[in-house]
C-alpha cells in the first residue's frame, strides 16, 4: 500500500498562474482533507470531503477550489495563484468512525 500520495512534490508558479495539486489514497477511506502549513502557524484546514461527491470549506478556503473525483482522489486547484499561497500543502485521509488521519508527503509551492 502506498498510503496517501501527492503530486507534484515541488512547484514554482508566477502570480496569476493556475495549477492543480493531486492527491490519491489507496486505503479505501471515505474522508479526505487538504491542509496548508506555514512557518509558526501549524496546519490549517483548507477543504475537506466526507465522502465521494461532497466537499466543504475548512478554515482558509479563499483562493482554492477542490474536486473529489472519486473515492480515491481529491484535488486542490489554485485558479489564480498569489504570493500569499506560498506554503506546503498536505493531503490526508481518514476512515469512517476514526479520527486518526493519514498524511501524504506534501507539496512545496512557491508563488513569485
Helix (H) or strand (E) holding 91: strand 87-94
Stretch that binds other proteins, among 16-24, 45-53, 60-68, 73-81 (CB under 8 A): 45-53
- Residue 110: which of 15, 2, 7 has the closest Cα? 15
Residue 74 dihedral angles phi and psi, to the nearest 5°: -140, 115
Give least dist CB 82 to other proteins, A: 23
> Applying CB under 8 A, which of residues 21, 24, 33, 111 lies at the interface with other proteins?
33
> Applying CB under 8 A, which of residues 24, 66, 81, 106 lies at the interface with other proteins?
106
Please provide the size of the chain in residues: 112
By DSSP bridging, strand 101-103 and strand 87-94 are antiparallel
Distances in Å between the Cα of 46 and the Cα atoms of 1, 2, 86, 112 are: 26, 24, 14, 21
Stretch that binds other proteins, among 17-25, 63-71, 79-87, 97-105 (CB under 8 A): 97-105
The answer to whether 63 contacts other proteins (rule: CB under 8 A) is: no
The answer to whether 41 contacts other proteins (rule: CB under 8 A) is: yes
The answer to whether 103 contacts other proteins (rule: CB under 8 A) is: yes
Amino acid at each position: 500500500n502506498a498510503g496517501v500520495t501527492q503530486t507534484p512534490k515541488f512547484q514554482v508558479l508566477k502570480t496569476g498562474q493556475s495549477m492543480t495539486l493531486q492527491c490519491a489514497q489507496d486505503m479505501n477511506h471515505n474522508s479526505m482533507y487538504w491542509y496548508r502549513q506555514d512557518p509558526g502557524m501549524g496546519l490549517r484546514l483548507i477543504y475537506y470531503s466526507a465522502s465521494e461527491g461532497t466537499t466543504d470549506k475548512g478554515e482558509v478556503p479563499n483562493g482554492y477550489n477542490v474536486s473529489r473525483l472519486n473515492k480515491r482522489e481529491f484535488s486542490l486547484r489554485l485558479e489564480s495563484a498569489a504570493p500569499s499561497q506560498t506554503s506546503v500543502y498536505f493531503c490526508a485521509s481518514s476512515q469512517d468512525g476514526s479520527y486518526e488521519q493519514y498524511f501524504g508527503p506534501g507539496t512545496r509551492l512557491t508563488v513569485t
